Amino acid sequence: MKEVFTMWRHTQLVVLTALSAAIYAAVLIPFKGFPIVPGFIELRPANVFPVVFGLLFGPAGAWGAAIGNLIGDFFGTLSLGSLAGFVGNFFLALLPYKLWSVYFRSDENMEQNVNSGKKLTVYIAVAFLASTVCALIIAWFIALLRLVPFTIGLICIISNNAIMAIVLGPVLLLALYPRVKRWGLLWTEIMEPEEVSAPRLRGIGSVLVWVGGIGGAVVGLILSLSGYSPMGAGVGLALIPFLIVIVVGAFMLGGREQVEAAQEMIATEGDESEA
């Protein structure tokens, strides 16, 4: 995942990080007055942004989601749980762009849009998985701190994330993608291939992320409903292996292939225009 560090070399991506964080926080803050779990979880229409910003801006979108969520927490929900919110929202934007190319052949158009049935299906799948992983990270941590029971945290956060991202996300992506591409702000057109991680057994990495995310959520729910303490070390310790599997899987996913495909497309378009 070296692109999450090398991206800071590019002024455009630094600006996009700040812009993503500002937009996310600006939409989060007004809804702090509509809590689901007072002090910890609120209605969040803004959760449409991390997945979309992750696909469009790559690592800049991931940092923007993490920072924007932290800024939002300063307006009524700041606690130790905000640490998990930072990490969870980072993964909410990171996983969609890391997973995107796994489901396309190298000779297929893998532009980060939803203008075909296959791309829409892939979008829904990665948005749901990223929403689940984000919820798992946050629910695990706040349950470990004995702030909110795991079951309540997981269900509320998954619902908030997935519904907003899946229902509103495709519309937002269809509206933004052509403009972002025209302005030359797609992360795949800004970064160089050598600055982005090459995939290492990305198929296995994808499976690990799915197993870690969905498996961790299911096991956590089963344990919580089977007599284990839904807060504290009971469920918390049992879910650590699943979280490790998610991180390992994310490291195995690439991103370089998307940059190479985008730059090859730019070169082809340039040759055609010259001809």
Which amino acid, 62? A
pLDDT for 100 equals 94
Q: Which residues fall within 8 angstroms of residue 236, CB to CB, at 6 or more apart? A: 140, 143, 144
pLDDT tens, residue by residue, 181-198? 999 999 999 999 999 988
Contacts of 141 (CB under 8 A, 6+ apart): 81, 83, 84
CATH class of 3-274: mainly alpha
pLDDT > 80? residue 268: no
Predicted TM-score (pTM) of this structure: 0.91
Q: Where are the domains of the chain?
A: 3-274
More confident residue, 228 or 26: 26
Say what the pLDDT of residue 230 is.
61
36-50, 91-105, 226-240, range with the lowest pLDDT: 36-50
Find tokens 């070399």 and name the residue: 9
Report the mean per-residue pLDDT for the chain: 89
Confidence of residue 200 (pLDDT cuts 50, 70, 90): confident
Q: Answer whether residue 38 shows pLDDT above 70.
A: no
Quote the CA–CA distance of 257 and 232 in Å, as a whole number: 41
Considering only residues 89 and 156, tell me which one the structure prediction assigns the higher pLDDT: 89
Higher pLDDT pick, 67 / 31 = 67
